[in-house]
């Protein structure tokens, strides 16, 4: 398998670590708001990386996806909401798990949050190690990392720091691209803000410190195998993770760095001011399915920008339905016998799929291999050259594809569980019948339209009403 490594800007052959194990750290959400579809592009692509390593290549995987539950934004959000930090961030962690299940993300081995006691201790230990190496200094009650003391700072982001102003520093957890300055490791306690006394002086961690400490604590001796995240994290976050981790341990932090490109919405960057930071619940409220979102997010290579539009999501739904319809059609074939040419086309598709996924996770190419097989199968069924004996090899192939891409099983799960509880659908159908009996057609239409907006279509015939998913 070959993966593009942001650190070297080249595709490199990937091999697992000892014990055929791959250790992955994925930068998770900063939980000051519900994650949006741009966030989930990174998580879905990391999920497909995980699935490829496990199900296609047979490696063991240990993956960490963290929650940043203390930083400038979570503290400000909790204060504005009038809540303590933990309950405030709990709601967004719960929402992440809900959305992750809706999108079919495999459960990972570790989901730590920064304020867990063990993680705060690991941060304190990391600061102490950096102190011993002479890579820190204290000012106004905060602890800073001295980037000029670490040769090679800036190599991930390709920073030119020759003209950097000596001694310039930044307290904010996030700052402008390529603005290389000494960054805060441990922030001085402020009145009303959460603080811990694990570092002297008491305060709270900076954002960058948190991920280094959690990765090293949970994944063990560096280098870890793969670190993933969005391209917006290359600088300053991942650059600073490297500085802290390698400064403390003297060893490379991660062998591979995998970064997922931006998701645009109608050719624009997502922003609250434009009102285009859609969440999974926003998508579902418009009558679309999470499986369609997952398909759309995998329809382009992870290193290419992807433009989200509602028309594009509709096309993704249709493409996914074509896959499901082909399998359903094959299951309905009643003719007996098996055909060697079917087995040959299936094997050809398996090889093309595997080659695409091992070529830097080329999900678009893998989907193309699936659709080539769909076209061949539909043509064979049309020509009467497909029999019940061909089903096992076809089922096995699509099950293998889906263990990696996770789209068909997600669609089936959605079909088994409609977006509106069945009891509520039955109750609303009866209420609609009652409205029509009293000739309140406006109310009857409203019930029908509300169900349609939630993904349920009503079909009237011979005095009875049936429902089905959109």
The pLDDT tens digits for 15-70 are 999 999 999 999 999 999 999 999 999 999 999 999 999 999 999 999 999 999 99
Please tell me the predicted confidence (pLDDT) of residue 172.
79
Looking at the fold, whether 305 and 178 belong to one and the same domain comes out as: no
Beta carbons of 169 and 182 less than 8 angstroms apart: yes
Give the integer Cα–Cα distance in Å for 17 and 41: 27
Average pLDDT over residues 367-385: 97
Looking at the fold, whether 10 and 82 belong to one and the same domain comes out as: yes
Please tell me the predicted confidence (pLDDT) of residue 164.
62
Beta carbons of 330 and 374 less than 8 angstroms apart: no
User: How do beta strands 2-5 and 136-139 pair?
Assistant: unpaired
Say whether pLDDT at 134 is over 90.
yes
Looking at the fold, whether 185 and 310 belong to one and the same domain comes out as: no
Last residue of a domain, one of 235, 260, 285: 260
Give the integer Cα–Cα distance in Å for 218 and 122: 10
Looking at the fold, whether 237 and 361 belong to one and the same domain comes out as: no
Which CATH number characterizes residue 124's domain? 3.40.50.620
Q: How confident is the model at residue 468 (pLDDT cuts 50, 70, 90)?
A: confident
pLDDT digits (tens, 9 = 90+) for 446-456: 999 999 888 78
Looking at the fold, whether 384 and 459 belong to one and the same domain comes out as: no
Cα distances from 91 to residues 31, 103, 108, 214, 342, in angstroms, run 9, 19, 20, 22, 50
Looking at the fold, whether 36 and 103 belong to one and the same domain comes out as: yes
Please tell me the predicted confidence (pLDDT) of residue 176.
61
Say whether pLDDT at 415 is over 90.
no
Average pLDDT over residues 70-90: 96
State the CB neighbour count (10 A cutoff) for residue 266: 13
User: How do beta strands 203-205 and 224-230 pair?
Assistant: unpaired
Please tell me the predicted confidence (pLDDT) of residue 178.
58
State the CB neighbour count (10 A cutoff) for residue 141: 14
Give the integer Cα–Cα distance in Å for 403 and 54: 9
Looking at the fold, whether 52 and 159 belong to one and the same domain comes out as: yes
Please tell me the predicted confidence (pLDDT) of residue 163.
59
Q: Which domain holds residue 363?
A: 268-416
Which CATH number characterizes residue 356's domain? 1.10.730.10
Please tell me the predicted confidence (pLDDT) of residue 234.
96
Give the integer Cα–Cα distance in Å for 157 and 141: 29
Looking at the fold, whether 179 and 275 belong to one and the same domain comes out as: no
Task: Decide which of 229 and 464 is more confident.
Answer: 229
Looking at the fold, whether 272 and 167 belong to one and the same domain comes out as: no
State how far Cα 392 lies from the chain centre.
32
pLDDT digits (tens, 9 = 90+) for 320-368: 999 999 999 999 999 999 999 999 999 999 999 999 999 999 999 999 9
Q: How many structural domains is the chain composed of?
A: 3
Please tell me the predicted confidence (pLDDT) of residue 285.
87
pTM for the model stands at 0.90
Looking at the fold, whether 411 and 452 belong to one and the same domain comes out as: no
Last residue of a domain, one of 209, 232, 260: 260
Q: At what angle do helices 239-249 and 207-219 cross, to 10 degrees?
A: 50
Please tell me the predicted confidence (pLDDT) of residue 58.
98
**Number of residues that make up the chain:** 470
Give the integer Cα–Cα distance in Å for 461 and 198: 70
Question: Hey, which residues does 22 pair with through a beta bridge?
Answer: 61
Looking at the fold, whether 162 and 293 belong to one and the same domain comes out as: no
Share of the chain above pLDDT 90, in %: 84
Please tell me the predicted confidence (pLDDT) of residue 306.
98
Please tell me the predicted confidence (pLDDT) of residue 287.
83
Please tell me the predicted confidence (pLDDT) of residue 463.
73
Looking at the fold, whether 107 and 252 belong to one and the same domain comes out as: yes
State how far Cα 66 lies from the chain centre.
12
Last residue of a domain, one of 260, 278, 308: 260
| Mean pLDDT for all residues in the chain | 94
């Amino acid at each position: 398998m070959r993966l593009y490594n942001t650190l070297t800007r080249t595709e490199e052959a990937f091999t697992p670590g000892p014990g055929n194990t791959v250790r992955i750290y994925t930068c998770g959400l900063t939980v000051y708001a519900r994650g949006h579809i741009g966030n989930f592009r990174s998580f879905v692509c990391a999920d497909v990386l995980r699935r490829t390593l496990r199900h296609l290549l047979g490696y063991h995987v240990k993956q960490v996806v963290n929650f940043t539950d203390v930083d400038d934004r979570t503290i400000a959000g909790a204060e504005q909401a009038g809540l303590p930090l933990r309950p405030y961030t709990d709601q967004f962690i719960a929402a992440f798990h809900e959305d992750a299940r809706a999108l079919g993300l495999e459960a990972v081995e570790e989901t730590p949050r920064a304020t867990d006691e063990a993680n705060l201790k690991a941060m304190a230990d990391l600061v102490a190690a950096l102190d011993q190496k002479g890579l820190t200094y204290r000012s106004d009650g905060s602890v800073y990392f001295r980037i000029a003391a670490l040769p090679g700072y800036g190599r991930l982001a390709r920073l030119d720091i020759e003209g950097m102003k000596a001694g310039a520093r930044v307290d904010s957890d996030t700052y402008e691209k390529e603005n290389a300055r000494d960054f805060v490791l441990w922030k001085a306690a402020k009145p009303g803000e959460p603080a811990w006394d694990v570092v002297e002086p008491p305060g709270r961690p900076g954002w960058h410190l948190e991920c280094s400490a959690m990765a090293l604590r949970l994944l063990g001796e560096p280098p870890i195998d793969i670190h993933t995240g969005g391209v917006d994290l290359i600088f300053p976050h991942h650059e600073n993770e490297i500085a802290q981790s390698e400064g403390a341990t003297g060893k490379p932090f991660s062998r591979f760095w995998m970064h997922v490109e931006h998701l645009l919405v109608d050719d624009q960057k997502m922003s609250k001011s434009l009102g285009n930071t859609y969440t999974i619940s926003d998508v579902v409220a418009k009558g679309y399915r999470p499986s369609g979102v997952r398909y759309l997010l995998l329809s382009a290579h992870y290193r290419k920008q992807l433009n989200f539009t509602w028309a594009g999501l509709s096309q993704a739904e249709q493409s996914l339905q074509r896959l499901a319809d082909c399998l359903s059609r094959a299951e309905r074939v009643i003719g007996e016998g098996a055909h060697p040419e079917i087995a040959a086309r299936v094997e050809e598709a398996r090889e093309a799929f595997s080659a695409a996924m091992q070529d830097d996770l080329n999900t678009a190419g893998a989907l193309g291999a699936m659709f080539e097989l769909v076209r061949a199968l539909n043509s064979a069924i049309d020509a009467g050259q497909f029999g019940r004996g061909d089903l096992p090899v076809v089922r096995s192939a699509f099950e293998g594809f889906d263990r990696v891409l996770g789209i068909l099983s997600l669609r089936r799960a959605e079909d088994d569980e409609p977006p509106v509880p069945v009891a509520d659908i039955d109750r609303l159908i009866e209420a609609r019948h009652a409205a029509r009996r009293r000739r309140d057609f406006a109310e009857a239409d409203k019930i029908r339209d509300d169900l349609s907006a939630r993904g349920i279509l009503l079909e009237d015939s011979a005095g009875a009403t049936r429902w089905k998913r959109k």
